[in-house]
Amino acid sequence: MTQLITIRSAVALIGVAGLTACATPDTSAMSALPSEPSARAQSLAEVKDGLDALGTPQAAASSAPMNATAAMSATQAAPMSATAATPGVIAASDPTMITGLGFAQIAGQPGNTLNEKRLLALRAARMDALRDLTEQVHGIHINASTTVGQARIGNDSLSAVVDGTIRGARTVRITPKGTDGYEVELSLDPATVAYIVRAFRGQV
């Protein structure tokens, strides 16, 4: 009789454990990662799980802030280390940013010395990058005309005009291109772009 009660208790415990496992499936971000996730994906998954754990009671909540803080620290430290390891990079670029590229040649600048020409080339490359950002934010006005006579094209012209205001552009990187040029990358975050568009429409 005692052995029968013991067997029934063991079966009941197994049933409760099985129901608990079925009732609480593993829906964490870490479990959804592929077999070999990137460092950024793993850091974001840890942050997400840590923030989700903040809403759970008692024991899970007590350990969650530490995990979230550590994961956020790792996420913030990753771009800094990548920036330090890459020569010519001033700030790490974010995939959500709108970026503009500008190029300029050093030898063609009007400076009297090589250093003056380099500074002017950097300035010209920055202005070129600002024009690229302006095209993306405000668009570009195209004028084109084609003249045809006797079934032949006599004149074909195309002109482009860019007009707009750019605010809050940040320098992402300045990269030497070969021995006689620079490439400058500027960026705008989506919130800044939305503000620029509202200001252009007179809504702010």
Write down the pTM of the prediction.
0.52
- Per-residue pLDDT 10s for the chain (204 aa) are 544 444 444 444 444 444 444 444 567 778 888 888 877 677 666 755 655 554 444 433 343 344 444 434 443 443 333 333 344 443 444 567 899 999 999 999 998 999 999 999 999 999 999 999 999 988 999 999 999 999 999 999 999 999 988 989 999 999 999 999 999 999 998 888 888 888 878 876
**What are the tokens at 189?**
């975050």
- Give the C-alpha separation, 175 to 190, whole Å: 24
- State how far the alpha carbon of 162 is from the alpha carbons of 74, 124, 137, 140, 141, in Å: 41, 17, 10, 5, 6
Closest residue by Cα to residue 145 from 154, 133, 158, 134: 158
